Amino acid sequence: MKTIYLIKYAEIGVKGKNRYVFEDALVKQIRFALKRTEGEFEVWRAQGRIYIDGPDDYSFTEDLPQGNPIDEQLRDQLGRVFGIAGFCPVVSVEDDGFDKLAEEVVSYMQRTYKEGEHTFKVFARRARKSYPMESPEICMELGGRILDACDNLSVNVHEPEIELNVEVRERIFIYSRIIPGLGGMPIGSGGKAMLLLSGGIDSPVAGYMIAKRGVSLEAVYFHAPPYTSERAKQKVVDLAEKVSIYTGPIRLHVINFTDIQMAIYEKCPHDELTIIMRRYMMRIAEHIAKETECLGLVTGESIGQVASQTMQSLLSTNEVCTLPVYRPLIAFDKQDIVDVSEKIDTYETSILPYEDCCTIFVAKHPVTRPDPEIIRRHEGNLSEVIDELMEKALTDHEVIRVHG
């Protein structure tokens, strides 16, 4: 007898003929995540399922939540892989005849559900068709033996608390508990997007949420020395690294935005600074996105959070792009965003006091309902210099590879 893990996946099951693409991506991501543990594990697939097995005689700890350190590392890592709905500690036994199996099952139920009254139902699956008993027969017989042996357990076939699974394969698998995973879809199954990353709370969360749908990320950060410091940039690199624990490696494009920012400051109305800056950021982000084969842009915007995120402002920043702009936080309240950022451990970094944008470039009273027509006209003031500045910003841009 040894304990292994069965991975349950969320939506992959419904992907029809493309199913293998998703499964391959998931197995790859799991293997990648497990490299961060001290243990050596084998990830294998059989009949539409993914299992994780320790080396040779290694048996995972059955008990939750305290396992040995390697088990904890494993669970920790699996808890960060998108596409896993849950993972189950599975007791795997040799097939030594039905009586021996029934003994193992009863012992499993006794040690797993020592206390309290519980209802259960047996689900048997006979993947090895040569097994002498059929599934309903296995269910009935095992149910009976459990009832005989355990006073605190009773059968409820409609709404059982405990779903006891017994799968007859080469070996026989017994499991009933699921440790919930992150859900979503495996990275690499959904194309690539360009995240506009700042040092704030929102954009790392936005990146995480998009990645949860299987999307891998590139990121772009706009810095403005000497108006922003080297520390502000380092903070963004640190955030990208934290996000990449979930999303896989990220290429972070760092754009020097100073000259563009100063040109806007000098030539455009002050209360429109932020909105016009945002429009150029979107244009630059889209340019790099197209060059790097990204299929969309991602921002951390949420309606009404600040002046540049009103519906009118979003309309104005949105119109400069042809790629779709994904805004996963659009209907989130600030506290909900903070909650996720704490969960993914970006919050503490985000609140460090190094600012992304010097207050000089933030109007005291920015427009909240910019008229796209007027913004376009004022942007025209930049026509003599902007092409050259954009060109320069794009050619000089620095790329930093981060992986958590």
Residues engaged in binding other proteins (CB under 8 A): 225-230, 262, 265-266, 270, 353-355, 358-364
Nearer to other proteins, 182 or 362 (CB): 362
In whole angstroms, the minimum distance from the beta carbon of 61 to other proteins comes to 40
For the chain, give percent helix, strand, coil, nearest 5: 40, 20, 35
CA atoms of 384 and 120, how far apart (whole Å)? 75
Which residues, 6 or more positions from 183, have their beta carbon under 8 angstroms from its beta carbon? 10, 82, 83, 84, 85, 212
Nearer to other proteins, 138 or 268 (CB): 268
Nearer to other proteins, 47 or 359 (CB): 359
CA atoms of 71 and 64, how far apart (whole Å)? 10
Nearer to other proteins, 82 or 227 (CB): 227
In whole angstroms, the minimum distance from the beta carbon of 165 to other proteins comes to 54
User: How many residues in the chain?
Assistant: 404
Determine how β-strand 84-93 pairs with β-strand 179-180.
antiparallel
Nearer to other proteins, 61 or 229 (CB): 229
In whole angstroms, the minimum distance from the beta carbon of 275 to other proteins comes to 15
CB atoms < 10 A from the CB of 49, how many? 16
Nearer to other proteins, 183 or 269 (CB): 269
In whole angstroms, the minimum distance from the beta carbon of 33 to other proteins comes to 37
Which residues, 6 or more positions from 392, have their beta carbon under 8 angstroms from its beta carbon? 259
Nearer to other proteins, 75 or 233 (CB): 233
In whole angstroms, the minimum distance from the beta carbon of 401 to other proteins comes to 25
Give the helix ranges, DSSP H, for 230-309. Answer: 230-247, 258-267, 273-291
Nearer to other proteins, 141 or 355 (CB): 355
In whole angstroms, the minimum distance from the beta carbon of 257 to other proteins comes to 14
In whole angstroms, the minimum distance from the beta carbon of 360 to other proteins comes to 5
In whole angstroms, the minimum distance from the beta carbon of 227 to other proteins comes to 6
In whole angstroms, the minimum distance from the beta carbon of 245 to other proteins comes to 29
CA atoms of 180 and 188, how far apart (whole Å)? 22
Tokens representing residue 196 in the block: 């506009």
Helices 311-318 and 372-379: angle between axes, nearest 10 degrees: 50
DSSP 8-state class, residue 396: T
Nearer to other proteins, 359 or 395 (CB): 359
- Can you spell out the DSSP letters for 72-87? HHHHHHHTT-TTEEEE
Phi then psi dihedrals of residue 304, to 5 deg: 80, 5
Tokens representing residue 165 in the block: 């699974």
CB atoms < 10 A from the CB of 63, how many? 12
Phi then psi dihedrals of residue 32, to 5 deg: -60, -45
Which residues, 6 or more positions from 399, have their beta carbon under 8 angstroms from its beta carbon? 251, 252, 253, 254
